[in-house]
Amino acid sequence: MRLCITAKGPSLGDDIDLSFGRAAYFLFHDPKTGELHAIPNSPGAHGAGVQAARIVAENGAKTVITGSVGPNAYRGLVAAGAEIYVGAEGTVADAIAAYKEGKLPRADGPSGRGHGR
């Protein structure tokens, strides 16, 4: 199972980026192998959530860990078959630990309002 975690930097020690669509980085992590792959995010003025959901799908992550997710990103992630966990805080490593311990709630809808709303 490959995880995608939104982050402010490219490493496990960097802080979680609280906004999914406008996160600075997407960190793809395989808990079984320890593999970590960081992809910088360059959201445009419009469609950031849709673009971000596409990046997740293209990189094979089925679990997303973030602070919050807007409506367009939520729809895109669900369409891609991803589970979304929100409320992550601290570092990427902290968020992964919270996920493994069952401390993050699974999103049953958007938790953010989206850009410009």
DSSP sequence for 34-100? --EEEEE----SS-HHHHHHHHHHHTT--EEE-SB--HHHHHHHHHTT-EEE----SBHHHHHHHHH
Residue 111 has a pLDDT of 80
Tokens read off for 97? 């630990």
Q: Is the pLDDT of residue 61 over 80?
A: yes
Note the residue count of the chain. Answer: 117
Residue 89 has a pLDDT of 95
- What is the topology classification, in CATH, of domain 3-100? Nucleotidyltransferase; domain 5 (3.30.420)
Q: Is the pLDDT of residue 44 over 80?
A: no
